[in-house]
Amino acid sequence: MHSYSGLAKDHFFNPRNVGALDGEAFIGRAGSFTCGAVVRVSLRIDESQRIAEAACEALLSAITDYSNSVRDEWEGDEALICTCFCVSERTIEREIETKGLRTIAEVTKACRAGAGCHSCYSLIEDILDDHRRSQGIANPAYR
Ligand code: FES
């Protein structure tokens, strides 16, 4: 951490405005399926409509929590491959078979599997490989 300025180090070790404001505050949330983070900002506005107080918290494992929650409540009798978009193994197989898909990008376009955090990419790739083997397709360009 020696390349950071003293100010950056101070804020790293002693972060300010972290967490949520107590009492009445405006709350805003934003999340990203791509990086898996969720950010919550709370603001207290004074009588002159200026921000009097602010706090922010990042929930970096939000996508992991969400994925585990979806998996726990998944009621389908098929394997759940993409937790971001609740896409089952059978749905992906059906899309590959009926549309002749050859790449993860094509699978994503067809059924949204893989369009979020990308953690299901290796599973989609395995399904594409299985399909390729079952069809005797050699040397695929699956990526
Ligand atoms: S599990 Fe996140 S994109 Fe598929």
Closest ligand 1 atom, residue 121 Cα: 4
Ligand 1 centroid distance, CA of 126 (Å): 14
pLDDT digits (tens), the chain, 143 positions: 567 788 888 877 888 888 888 888 888 888 776 666 778 889 999 999 999 999 988 876 666 677 777 777 777 778 889 988 889 999 999 999 999 999 999 999 999 999 988 889 999 999 999 999 998 887 555 44
Atom of ligand 1 nearest to the CA of 84: 2
Domains of the chain: 6-59 (3.90.1010.10), 63-134 (1.10.10.1100)
CB 102 within 8 A of CB 95: no
The DSSP code for 100 is T
CA distance linking residue 15 with residue 137, whole number of Å? 55
**pTM greater than 0.75:** no
Q: Which residue has the tokens 């009492």?
A: 23
CA of 89 to the centre of ligand 1 (A): 12
